[in-house]
Amino acid sequence: MGSSLLVRVGGPALFVLLWSTGFVGAKYGLPYADPLPFLVLRLALATTLLALLALVTRSPLPSSREQYGRASVVGVLLHAGYLGGVFTGIGLGVPAGVAAVITSLQPVLTAVLAVRVLGERLRGAQTAGLLLGVVGVVLVLAPGLRASAGSAGALPVGGLLACLVALASGTAATLYQKRHGGEVPLLSGTAVQYAAATVVLLLAAAVTGQHSVQWTHEFVLALGWLVVVLSLGAVLLLLVLLRHGSAAGVSSLLYLVPPATALEALVLFDERLAAVSVVGVVVAALGVALVVRPARRPLPVAA
């Protein structure tokens, strides 16, 4: 009982903590590199490290072309589509808070589609939790959104479209992984994901003419953090959680990423939280708790 509770609570909590640091890494690294080359370097390094880890641990390889294909699809959607969309959107002028709001709508989209695609059923408490999550994210980011809108004016259409591509890609990757990725070996399969995404992003960088990289200490630190903590730690943990939980429940954890990022920004950059944002953190946490809480088993009926 104790160990299962630790896995059920500790795993999601660690995922939120790790995943939320991606915005911090992007803030440190993007001033010194174009978005797509930054991601190409990150995923190429992650591919190499995971392949070596799989070799050392003698992890099994995908057993068929079908498994290679499925891992590649997830990689292109989750890493090229989602990350490429977010980094491109921010690079085109979309505030990070706006990008976080758009991509944080993934749990709602995933939950709705999971009912039809995966046959998952939503309880009333889970539906309420999804709605609370949306409200909480909006409350957390509302002060920053108002400030961004007041200073920057109209948001760039291209950047917003890139964020919508990230939202759609992340949702599709979650559903596809839950339905088809359970039999793909974890280490070698994730290495295939990264390799496929690296090829797609490399082609995209060549087409768009992005090639600038400044090898400063800040960039190297950000790159190392994103490779080890995000691309290895957080993504592997995400795939493990998807194997043991529902797509709607796991994706609902993304509601906690913007609040966690806001708290990290407070500590690292002294960005103060408004009172409404603190309320939003509590509301979002309550929403996630409702979604991921297991259903009560009916009491046995006496004969």
Q: Would you state the pLDDT for residue 45?
A: 95
Q: Identify the band that residue 299 occupies on the pLDDT scale cut at 50, 70 and 90.
A: very low
Averaged pLDDT for residues 246-254: 61
Q: Would you state the pLDDT for residue 244?
A: 64
- What's the CA gap between 106 and 133, in Å, rounded? 11
- What's the CA gap between 20 and 12, in Å, rounded? 12
Q: Would you state the pLDDT for residue 280?
A: 74
Q: Is the pLDDT of residue 233 over 80?
A: yes
Q: Identify the band that residue 6 occupies on the pLDDT scale cut at 50, 70 and 90.
A: very low
Q: Is the pLDDT of residue 85 over 80?
A: yes
Sorted by where each begins, the domain ranges of the chain are 11-292
Q: Would you state the pLDDT for residue 293?
A: 61
pLDDT digits (tens, 9 = 90+) for 180-198: 766 778 788 889 999 999 9
Q: Would you state the pLDDT for residue 44?
A: 95
**Arithmetic mean of pLDDT over the chain:** 77
Q: Identify the band that residue 224 occupies on the pLDDT scale cut at 50, 70 and 90.
A: very high
Q: Would you state the pLDDT for residue 201?
A: 95
- What's the CA gap between 25 and 21, in Å, rounded? 6
Q: Is the pLDDT of residue 153 over 70?
A: no
259, 284 contact by CB (below 8 A): yes
Q: Would you state the pLDDT for residue 260?
A: 74
Q: Would you state the pLDDT for residue 154?
A: 58
Q: Identify the band that residue 24 occupies on the pLDDT scale cut at 50, 70 and 90.
A: confident
Token pair for 94? 């979309």
Position 225: which residue type? W
Sign of CA dihedral 131, 136, 137, 143: positive
Q: Would you state the pLDDT for residue 115?
A: 67
Q: Give the number of other Cβ atoms within 10 Å of residue 253's Cβ.
A: 22
Instruction: Tell which wins on pLDDT, 115 or 14.
Output: 14
Instruction: Tell which wins on pLDDT, 9 or 287.
Output: 287
**Paired strand residues for 213:** 33
